[in-house]
Every structure is written in C-alpha cells, then in structure tokens.
Amino acid sequence: MPGQWRAAVTGAGSGVGREIALQLARQNWSLALADNNYAALLDTQSRCAATTEIARATHVDVAIRAEINAWAASSRNELGGLDAVFNVAGVLYSGDVMHTPPNDFDLIMATNFESVVNSSRAFLPDILKSRRGRIVNVSSAFGVVSAPGYSAYSASKFAVRGFTEALNQELRMASRTARATCVIPGGLKTSIARTARAAPGVEQGRTAELFDSRIARTAPEDAARRIIAGAWKGKSQVTIGQDARLLDMTSRVLGPHYTQILPAIQALRRH
C-alpha cells in the first residue's frame, strides 16, 4: 500500500484482530489498537512495534460507548487522523431464546453490534477526510443465516450486516473514495469458541470442542489477508471460508425457507 496509512483495530489482542494488526504493521501502517484483554493487547503491540513506528495500545471495553469515544479521540490526536477502522471485537454466545437471560442478550448486542455502530460513528469524520477511508465491520455467517440456539448472536450479527450495508451506501453518496465493508466469516481457527459465553444449562465446553473440531476451518492469517485486500479494493462484502460461502448461497437460493431444514432434520431424528 502506498505511503503512510493509519488504522484503528478493535479486538487486536487475539485472533483475526491481532492478525490484521500484524499484517498492517508489516506494511508500515500506524496503528491504534484496542482490546479488553490488556495483557494480550500489549503482546500484539510489541509484535507490531517490530515492524512499524507507531503501534498504540489502549484498554477498551467496546460494550461501553464512552470508552470507544475516548479511544477514538486520543487515537486521532496521536496519529493525526485515521484512514481505516477495523471493528473486529466480538463474543460468541449460545443459548435459546427461552433460556437466555435478558442481561446476557443486552451484553451480546452491546459487544457485537452497538460497539460497531459506536466505533463507526466515532471514526467517521476521519474516514471522510481520508483520501481512501475504510470502515470494516465483522459480521458472521450467522449474520446471513440463523441457527437454533444462537438467537442473541445471530441477532447481533444480522444487525452488523444491515448497518454496514446502509453505511456503505451513505458513504458512497457522501464521498468518492470512502467505503464500508461487511465481513462474513465462517468457522475460524481462533479462541472465539473457548472464550464464548453461554446461557445457563448449556455445556459450553462441549460446544467449544464441537466448534474447534468440526467447524473451525480458516486460519486467522488467511482471513486477515483477505479482509485487508477486500477492504482496500472497496468491496461491499468479503466472505471468508467455503462454509460461509455455502451458507450465503443457501440463503440466496432458499430465502426464508432455509429455516425449515434444521427443524426437519431434528424431527426425523426423533422417529
């Protein structure tokens, strides 16, 4: 990438967020990094500092709007503006509607969706001023199709996708260069399942084992590379993994009828 660019990355302490930060650092981007796990974030900062001059680490709980706003303001002052923001931070949650406590649902929405809205808004003036501004928001394959037992998570990720698609249209009307990209990843080989939250009664360890052994397929290094390349090209959507592409195609072909598949399979198993 030509010249000196500046990016903010949430969820930079691990997984895809960390890989995005490391890959941008190797391209000499100046970075403002945020995560709720400060020890892990400092490790990412140290790695980035080996290849770029500025890698700023800030402890941020993305579920709290005031912390995002303060981080955006201090990052702007230190870096002199931002050219891109990667909203990667999020948490997986399993639990059906009946057994998901209201406070859990609120927390998942605040962490996965409201944080994306708040960060996008906080950095929007910088993105519009940049000669090639980018806002990159990570949704999920469960933001394309829903699944039983993941109502809160799916709700948050569907919301991210809808918000980002609307934002991208607004950016296209307001600017010749600024764009928003929605990322649709499938199963990633990260710690997301092991650090997930769950409703009371859900066997979280079993769920994590199933995810890691059967669902996680894409390495975070590959995902980060595709995300950065797609965002730089101004793509509206970047779909990561064969599983995510299959689910995206299923939703397009079947429409809302896809919701009949899993209940039908479950019914057959009972007989």
Contacts 24+ apart (CB under 8 A), 233-237: 234/134, 234/179, 234/181, 235/179, 235/181, 236/165, 236/168, 236/179, 236/180, 236/181, 236/182, 237/181, 237/182, 237/183, 237/184
Other C-beta atoms closer than 10 Å to the C-beta of 123 total 27
- Would you call 93 a catalytic residue per the annotation? no
Task: List the 237-240 sheet strands across, edge first.
Answer: 55-59, 30-35, 6-10, 84-87, 134-138, 179-185, 237-240
Q: Which two tokens stand for residue 207?
A: 């769920």
3: which residues sit within 8 A by CB, 6+ positions away?
A: none
> What radius of gyration, in Å, describes the C-alpha atoms of the chain?
18
Which of 38, 93, 150, 153 is flagged as catalytic?
Answer: 153
Task: Give the closest residue to 108 by CA, choosing from 55, 173, 154, 52.
Answer: 154
- Work out the burial of residue 268: count CB atoms within 10 Å of its CB; fewer than 13 is exposed, 13-18 middle, 19 or more buried: exposed
Active site (catalytic) residues: 153
